[in-house]
Amino acid sequence: MVVDIEIFGQLGESVERHQFLKLKTPLSIREIATLLGLVPEEVGLVIINGVQHWMDDTVPMNCRLCFFPPMSGG
């Protein structure tokens, strides 16, 4: 199982912004975030294949997983 990961904004300051992660077993988004060195509580939005997901959702096989910081706007 390969997950295409992209990390946006200030979340990517200390980690590689685009990477591929090979997994032997399915993991939750929270587990992958921790594995990457992200703090799950600092993630504002998670998108898998263009659809919003929650931190405890399981990551499907062969997908694109994007982490975004909290956003604000006006």
Q: Is the pLDDT of residue 19 over 90?
A: yes
Complete domains list, the chain, with CATH: 2-68 (3.10.20.30)
Average pLDDT over residues 31-35: 97
pLDDT score, position 74: 65
For residues 10-22, average pLDDT: 91
**DSSP letters of 13-53?**
SSS-SEEEEE-SS--BHHHHHHHHT--GGG--EEEETTEEE
Average pLDDT over residues 37-46: 95
Say what the pLDDT of residue 39 is: 94
CB-based contacts of 17, cutoff 8 Å, min separation 6:
6, 7, 8
* Other C-beta atoms lying within 10 Å of the C-beta of residue 65: 21
Q: Considering only the C-alpha atoms of the chain, give the largest distance between any 2 of them, rounded to a whole number of Å.
A: 42
Q: Is the pTM of this model over 0.85?
A: yes
Under DSSP, the state recorded for 74 is -
- Which residue did the predictor score with more confidence, 12 or 16? 16
